[in-house]
Structure 1
């Protein structure tokens, strides 16, 4: 059976990758308080630090996936005015409008609970600054840098189509651009740029890896999908090396932050940056492999639930800090025996409440794209277990 797929075939496994990514995001955000408040409890602090650092793959994985999907869907199509117009129309409707709405929501929420009074003019200037820098809430930087990449996407698409050698070198080019920005910002400027994480240059290794995967996916799919029919000694060695390098990078990343937070060590900022980059870069590849394994071999509720979670992940990403904010207003007293249950509850509330709101909005609210972007109207094959989805595939898809 051939594993080649046509350029426009859907890849339902990507919904599972999105599910893993949003779980990573929620894990990091729900443990942010614990990493500080549990500092006097060594065993607990190590555990919270582990989840807070090891799960940092969420946003980088979303970034890589976004680029992957764009290049996978657009690279083989003629680059003309119709394509560019349709591309920007979709980004405006499904990304920028929800971004503007939630920037306003978080800005208003912050002003309501702020003790600092601002005049009407100061309020408008602050709102504009927050929207223009992606800082209305800390998590909105992801949408802000995505918008930056969307502005550049037609240029990148043209360059990689016009010069295929650039596409073949996309990964090292992305790494080089990202690290040039890191090094110039650290050593080449009198004052580092503010909010470095709100610049898309900080994530070019993920964007260009996504581009390479999207362009060459039909050729390299057999290297990504771990299965008996694809297995060769070289591929098994490559898969083993990937997973071993991922674990080593992730655990090293956890270790240096644990040392830093406990006061046992301090390191050059480039080490933190390098381990974060390596850990999260490899995480996206590992999660993609894991998604193919689960989708192919795990039937039943797990694949279905993860598929649905992935389909709702953008909306969950946008709204979950609001639930965390109000949940944390009911912080237990210091030394409470229920503190660990409370921290776990923060993750549960952020996940379940956000998931429920986005799901109900998708089902019952008209024009819901204004709030949460593009949402599925009903359950699709991507939300169903692998064996059910395959029954609905066409013969051509089954050959893939």
Structure 2
């Protein structure tokens, strides 16, 4: 079997790792563009993930049996559509369905039509209209770029003045480029965040064990938003319990898929619901993503029993029979992200990395913003550099394994949080 993984981050390294774990050694893996981690599992192709025609050509050239698309940008650009048109099975939604992430305004429209719990909101392309709306809005106010902003487009503003400044930066100053040409202004929701992902062919659903992301740069959930500084899985009841997951299936996933199908955008792939679970247990949708989360994937996949990759291939080939409603984690996993100095604004690149080979049997290291120079030295090449996943029988054990390994990896300016899974550990009384 020949499989092409599209993307070059920690998520794609984790997907490649799971594919290599689940299928025979004869399986040949390609990654476009990949990273030094995927290079250890297969062959990297020097092709941008968003170069749709080039990826299709590479899939043909290397006779790929299936293409697994990792990031949101190529999905929004229609890569899955182009591959299917070329007769190549692909895992990931078409561009019409990927709008559920590519346009937060569209996602809100779908949720309202489907009756999915979400915060009241309005969308704006005109700054003056946005400012008038903000002037009459209760504080705090949430301002979101409607387009793709690498996880950094949502701003919780403590005051109307801050919200007005944020809207002005996006709509007038172009602080987020095309992503901020339309903004969504919504009511602030309180509660605890949860990431719930489901595999789907548009009709059937297989819900993966819930995870929790840590979006803020600093410990104690302080500092600016990032693409994610760590995650853990599973999340214990009641927050991540069966009752909540059943509600997410019935109140979030099923009506959303039905509404997308009604609009002629049948969804196939993985659908990620970023939730705020309120004190009364209602799962409010903060956002939808049209792909696996990063860093959630690096925590979810290692904790699952081997075989999850088969679901991806069967969905891509249109022959999926999941046989169950949910997958449960077999082990706890905690992922700590190591970021470069200056992240998320201006990460430092080209810094040498010391990555010990003997981090232990319960540790996995997934590459993201790394590259090798001509001498073969591993160096930083992006904001989020490495994801360090620790495994254990409990979240506490997994957290200790992750922290210990993360501490041993060295590069100048290493930025990381030592408190990933802190809420879970506090609830469990663990350290």
TM-score by length of 2: 0.28
Structure in which a larger fraction of residues adopt helix: 1
The structure whose Rg is larger is 1
Which structure has more strand as a fraction of its residues?
Answer: 2
TM-score by length of 1: 0.29
Higher RCO (CA-CA < 8 Å; seq separation 6+):
1
